Amino acid sequence: MHWVWFILAGAVVGALGRLFHRGRDPMGWLMTIGIGVVSLIVAAAISSGWLAFIIGVIVAVILVALVGRFRRDSVVPGRA
């Protein structure tokens, strides 16, 4: 049951990361959850409690920017 809450919290953190990142983010909801979970793992290694949640959102914004940059570069213009 712990993993279910961790995935739900990761979805919230990933969604907040996409919300706070300006611009278009070419990723789906699975990538958003993955970014949120990874950012929560990094934040849990640094801190705990609400501070870890805030750090997780900050890390998620950075990861969304990085993934958006690499995904945007790999898409060929004019192709679906």
The three-state secondary structure class of 75 is coil
Number of domains in the chain: 1
Encode pLDDT of 20-78 as tens digits.
Answer: 887 777 788 888 889 999 999 999 899 888 898 899 999 999 998 888 777 665 555 55
Domain enclosing residue 66, as ranges: 31-73
In a domain, 19, yes or no: no
Token pair of 27, please? 């990723």
Closest CA relative to residue 53, chosen from 5, 4, 23: 5
Instruction: Provide the pLDDT for residue 49.
Output: 84
40: in domain:
yes
Query: Is residue 46, in this structure, part of any structural domain at all?
Result: yes
Closest CA to 56 of 41, 71, 74, 76: 41
| Three-state DSSP class for residue 13 | helix
Does residue 66 sit within a domain?
yes
In a domain, 9, yes or no: no
**Tokens coding 45:** 């290694």
